[in-house]
Chains A and B, each alone.
Chain A
Amino acid sequence: MKIKATLLDQIRKHGEATYPEECCGLLLGKSGPDGNRVLALYPVENRHAEQRERRYTIAPSDYLAAERAARRQGLDVVGFYHSHPDHPARPSATDLAEATFPGYTYVIVAVHQGRAGELTAWHLSPDRTRFEPETIEIEPESASVDQT
């Protein structure tokens, strides 16, 4: 995926703000043959009913609202992000079991003792058996939506 450093910082800050609970949100941008380009974030509340230190849920109604917000900006929902408080930034068994469609980018930020650390990106393999790592390409802050 391609993303600006300021957006990655916003993900880290969201993870620190909700620590020790997991944060979550949607990645808005453009999807192309060479991967996803993230141009905006849509932070949402972690709607998991309990154990939010270990689990997150994005409510379908929040997804729908994010999709509509994206469309107003000429963008699409291209993925999701969440934090792993005091756990590595790698997809867990739960992440795999709950995975949706291949093609979305899943960003994970590790937050150790309240401080954001490693940040990684993944996508579900086409056969749904595993998450594959995605490279994170930092875009210049001046990059505009039209420069695809």
Chain B
Amino acid sequence: MRTTTATVTIRIPTPLRGFTNNQETVEVSGATVGEALQQLVEQFPRLKPHLFNDEGRLRSFVNIYVGDEDIRYLQREATPLKPGAELSIVPSVAGGGL
């Protein structure tokens, strides 16, 4: 059986565009979110340590959205992608005085 791979767009946060030749968006193909992210870091290897930890898992402050949906509430990295889907890399921003 042939797997369908959708061409999707990944939006790159401002500080990471130095690793994507200043591209705001990168087009990759992938049937799932995990495949799309894998393609992204294969194309731009210097992005990898900013998105993934040493065990190869997404860093805890990195959220991936497909359109308006957080993949945590979908099927995480196994979330299937439709052609033309837009993925956003969204940091969890937190801290405090103490």
Contact = CB atoms under 8 A, between A and B. Distances in A.
B97 A22 contact: yes
B68 interface: yes
Interface centre among A51, A82, A83, A100 (most CB of B within 10 A): A100
A98 B18 contact: no
A56 B96 CA distance: 6
Given A60-B90, A64-B88, A100-B92, A92 B50 contact: no
B52 interface: no
Nearest to B11: A67
B94 interface: yes
Interface string A87-128: 100011011001111111010000000000000000000000
Interface SS of chain B: helix, strand, loop or mixed? mixed
A113 to B, nearest CB: 14
A106 to B, nearest CB: 8
Interface string B42-63: 0000000010000000000101
Categorize the interface residue count of chain A: 35 or more
A12 interface: no
A113 B84 CA distance: 51
B93 A54 contact: no
Contacts of B91: 60, 63, 100-101
Nearest to A44: B93
Interface SS of chain A: helix, strand, loop or mixed? mixed
Interface in A14-54: 22, 24, 31, 48, 51, 53-54
Contacts of A84: 96-97
Interface of A: 22, 24, 31, 48, 51, 53-58, 60-61, 63-64, 67, 76-78, 80, 82-87, 91-92, 94-95, 98-104, 106
Interface of B: 11, 13-18, 50, 61, 63, 65, 68, 70, 88, 90-98
